[in-house]
Structure 1
Amino acid sequence: MNNTPGWSSPGSSPSDGQEPVGSGPADATGHPGPAPSADQPGGQQQSSGVKWAKEQPPPGQWTAPTGTPAPGRTPPPPPGSGWGTPGGYGGPGGYSAWGTGWGGPPPAAKPGVIPLRPLGLGEILDGAVTTMRTYWRTVLGVSLVVAVLTQIVVILAQRPTSARTNQVLGDPNATPAEIGGAMLDSLLGSGAVFVVTMAGTVVATALLTMVTSRAVLGRPVTVGEAWRDARPLLLKLFGLVLLLLLICLGIVTAGALPGILVAAAGSPLGGAGLAFLGILAACVPALWLAIRFSLASPALMLEKQGITKAMSRSAKLVRGSWWRIFGIQLLTVVLTSMVSLVVALPFAVIALLSGGDGLAGFLEGTPEPSWSYLIISGIGAVIGLTITLPISACVTVLLYIDQRIRREALDLELARAAGVPGHGSAPTAPGS
């Protein structure tokens, strides 16, 4: 038998009540001699050494002993577990020590809104909603202010431009100069709305990025603290967003250019069809680049990088996970669009019934929307944007954190920063 401490199972044993052969004292050559009988001198059994009992169970019926192990001995692992096996030390799920349970890793630390480990789709969406629910004063305060200011500009720009455009386009005797002027007014109004909307979205994204980064660590943050952290990087963030828009717009314009040239050469119908196909083809690389650089914004804000460095960081983090990030971002867009529609639809119906000539005037093509219609529909848009803007921003930040956890073990640094027990101070990872 094995006399070393620890776990050892008995080997095969003699059966049928026969004594083991060669269990007597050794002779001069060192080989064991015959066992002494009880009626011979010195046949009394020795008090030292290990002896098999006469009555042994049949072969193949050995079972592992149960009960409390002897002092100083290590308890055996359960069947199927052990060193290098699944569920034990060295296996895929073997993180538990002796006596602390088997079959899986310990639960991940969760100091804030997400567990500090690679995240699934549900955990990312849940983390965004939990951030809104836990820090609702800060999150909804930021998004509400941005939504109100943006919608005020939209109403002020939409009222005069839409009235003149509808009036000119509805007049069969309008001159080309009047039509061109109306289109220019509409373009300028849409441009002003776009600039203000983009500015508000950028500011809200910067502030919500800081809020979400604190929420991951379980630390509260006020609007003033978020603004103090985000303000030095706002110009860079504006530049990043503008650069990405120009890149995508340039790709789409290049796709439409052949059609535009054909239309200018005297074939408007063929040029329009070619331009449409070119735009569809150009949307593929534009979408690919948009997802590739979708994590540049949180990389710029949280790593305090430059524009080009943030874009390269996003490309590195997205590499190999493009389809996953595209799917999560697409699902987020679908969900937020549905929420906006559900919120805005009742207000739009009320606005139609209460504004101007009511629903009949809208169906007849009333040239000028009333102030009541714009204000009531604007309230619905404000509520929808207040809810959906934080979800989109938080999902992007959590995707960035998830990719860094998967590639750079950021969870260890976050655990140290959050003061999770068992994580001492250590140098931060590059780019943190």
Structure 2
Amino acid sequence: MTHGPYEHAPEPHHAYPPTPGAQSPGGFEQGAQWPAPQPAPGSSNWQYGPAPESGYGQQPGGQWMPAPTPGLFPLRPLAFGDALAATFRLFRTSPKTTLGSAVIVMGATTLFASLLPVVVGMLMFTRIPFGGSQEDITPMLVSSITLTSLAAIFGLAIAGVGSALLQGILVRVVARGAIGEKLGFKEAWRAGWRGVWRLIGYALIVGVGSLLLIAVGWLLIPFILFMVLSGSGADEATMAGSIGLGVIFTLLLGGATVVLMVWVGIKIMFAPSAIVLEGLGPIAAIRRSWGLSHGNFWRVLGIVVVIQVILNFATGAVSTVAQLAVSMGQVLLTPLGSGQSAEPQAGTIVAFAVILLLTSALQVLLGAIVLVLTSGNATILYFDLRMRKEGLGVTLQRYAEQSAAGAEITDADFDVQREQHLPPMTAPGYAR
């Protein structure tokens, strides 16, 4: 019999496993699986509730979730080929929403912007011969020119609104495609209207800035030429050299203006995506784009240049074939030396109208393709930079998994994708 503080000491562990079926002093069957020790509250492995069941396709708690649908691009920093492939994959994933919307918007706005000043001009200028005296004709001429110019400006404004709407649609389509979803035609148009006025404000800022930059360049060119010529003597040789020097300065100034516009264009090309997806204003979106492009200028420029070269080559080839077809059609309709009368026949007029309509439709289609690819590529690069700098791929992967499980991902989720830096959480039981 043992006395003292070790009276109730546990039995020592045996070197050999116990016999199956035997009972241990604690009441557990010997040879059975003992319950796994639980970590102490506050440790890194401590959790509420039962231990999760492991298995393929299961989440904590035993809930099965399907694998997310592959998206428009990998949810990681994109390689050069990934960015190019994702740009041209837009037509395969959402052709109706992207190309269809672009053709409708560009066709309608181009037709409206072209016909409105023509109709207003015809209505106004045809009244001038019937104005009466010379004193009445002058005010009518001034008013006709003014109204026709206002009609042209209004048509350009409608075209700008359509361009902003189309840009919002394309950004939403790319955002949905990133998590494996396809945005329908109606849903895309409803989503595109949100933020359209901020996009219009951004377009106005960019347009006014470009005009000011070009105006400054055009004002400096004659100023430089004047200064050079005024400083030259009366000698013809000296004047010729001064003119040559002025031309060189002009070319350098023009080249510097082009380089500056390209540099600024690359720095602010992600502003529309920030306006649509982050809900920023035009100025804040420009600052946001400037920060995202910092340190990635040459990479973004290389991708944009490759896309533009491909598009220019493809559209140039199609346009050349179309022009050849139009020329052959004109030769067939009006053959040389046919001896026909100078007045065209009704069939010839209709044929020329059909050729003009087909040519215009082809130009609208090519413009729509170029706009879809350039805007889509800018949005894809916007996601690429955010995945590189902010780890957005983790958020997009979570959205993709939730969408595959049947959860609804609203547009508001994409509006607040900027990661918030939260303070570190204190482990349970150790809060102060």
Alpha-carbon distance in structure 2 between the residues aligned to 1:339 and 1:277: 31
Closer, same or farther in 2 for the Cα pair 1:118/1:265, shift >3 Å?
closer
CA RMSD of aligned residues (A): 4.5
Q: Separation in 1 of the partners of 2:161 and 2:108?
A: 11
Q: Are residue 121 (structure 1) and residue 80 (structure 2) matched?
A: yes
Could you tell me how far 1:144 is from its partner in structure 2? 1.5
1:232-271 counterparts in 2 under 5 A?
232-261=194-223
Aligned to 1:382: 364
**Cα distance in 2, alignment partners of residues 190 and 280 from structure 1:** 31
Does residue 343 (structure 1) correspond to residue 302 (structure 2)? The answer is: no
Asked if 1:225 is matched to 2:187, the reply is: yes
Gaps of 5+ in 1: 1-107, 162-182, 361-367
Amino acid at match of 1:223: F
- C-alpha displacement of 1:378: 0.6
Q: How far off its partner does 1:259 sit?
A: 2.0
| SS class of match (1:294) | coil
Structure with higher RCO (Cα < 8 A, 6+ apart) = 2
* Deviations 1:201-243 (CA, angstroms, capped at 9, x unpaired): 3221111110110011111211221222231300110110221
Correspondences of 1:178-327 after superposition (within 5 Å): 195=157, 197-261=159-223, 275-327=250-302
Amino acid across the alignment from 1:233: G
Q: Is the 8 A contact 2:68 2:400 kept in 1?
A: no
Quick check: which one's helix share is greater? Answer: 2
Cα contact 1:151–1:378 (8 A) shared by 2: no
Aligned with 1:419: secondary structure? helix
Q: How far apart, in 1, do the equivalents of 2:152 and 2:288 lie?
A: 33
TM-score, normalised relative to structure 1: 0.59
- Counterpart CA distance in 2 for 1:354 and 1:126 is 38
Q: How does 1:347-358 map to 2 (within 5 A)?
A: 347-355=322-330
Please state if 1:404 is matched with 2:386.
yes
Equivalent residues in 2 for 1:356-367, closer than 5 Å = none
With the length of structure 2 as denominator, give the TM-score of the two structures. Answer: 0.59
Q: Which sits farther off after the overlay, 266-275 or 306-315?
A: 266-275
Distance 2:151 2:247 in 1: 26
Contact 1:255/1:275 (<8 A) preserved: no
Q: Summarize the Cα distance change of 1:422–1:205 in structure 2 as closer, same or farther, 3 Å threshold.
A: closer
Unaligned regions of 5+ residues in structure 2, if any?
A: 1-66, 121-144, 231-241, 337-348, 422-432
Is contact 1:207–1:227 with CA below 8 Å preserved after alignment? yes
CA change 1:431–1:342 in 2 (3 A) is farther
1:101 equivalent in structure 2: none
Correspondent of 1:135 among 81, 94, 98: 94
Residue of structure 2 equivalent to 1:392: 374
Cα 1:382/1:312, change in 2 over 3 Å: same
How far apart are the structure 2 equivalents of 1:228 and 1:421?
20
Alpha-carbon shift at residue 335 of structure 1 (Å): 1.6
Q: Deviations over 1:317-363 (max 9, x none)?
A: 00001111111112212222222223333332233333597698xxx
Report how many residues are paired.
301
374 and 318 in structure 1: CA distance in 2 versus 1, 3 angstrom threshold: same
Are the counterparts in 2 of residues 256 and 275 from structure 1 also a CA contact under 8 Å? Answer: no
C-alpha deviation, 1:195, in angstroms: 4.6
Structure 1 position 248, deviation (Å): 2.5
Q: Is the 8 A contact 1:259 1:273 kept in 2?
A: no
